[in-house]
Amino acid sequence: MATKISATDLSRKTSDILNRVRYRGERFIVERNGEDIAAVQPVGAKPGVTLGELISRLKALPRPDEAFADDMEAVLASQPKSGSLTWDD
């Protein structure tokens, strides 16, 4: 997730912002008059989420209910056993 900063903050804290981009992989969206005007991010960064964002999103997901494990065991039990198929089948 990108951190929003004003163009004024970017001007005042350029060195700090660039260090955070380089060494921490952080991404910043620069705003002027409430409008997004630029992104500051690592070179070669692809659109998507950072590892930290992914971890945060995974932690926010609801946990499976207690019956989930039973459902998974039933699905696995219904599958053919490894090696039970032959070329003649």
Q: What is the model's pLDDT at position 86?
A: 59
Domain ranges of the chain: 3-77
User: pLDDT band for position 45 (50/70/90)?
Assistant: low
Q: Is the pLDDT of residue 16 over 90?
A: yes
Q: Which residues contact 34 (CB under 8 A, 6 or more apart)?
A: none
CA distance 77 to 82: 12
CATH of domain 3-77: 3.40.1620.10
Mean pLDDT of the region 72-78: 91
Q: Is the pLDDT of residue 89 over 60?
A: no
Asked whether the whole model's pTM tops 0.85, one would answer no
How high is the mean pLDDT of the chain?
Answer: 87
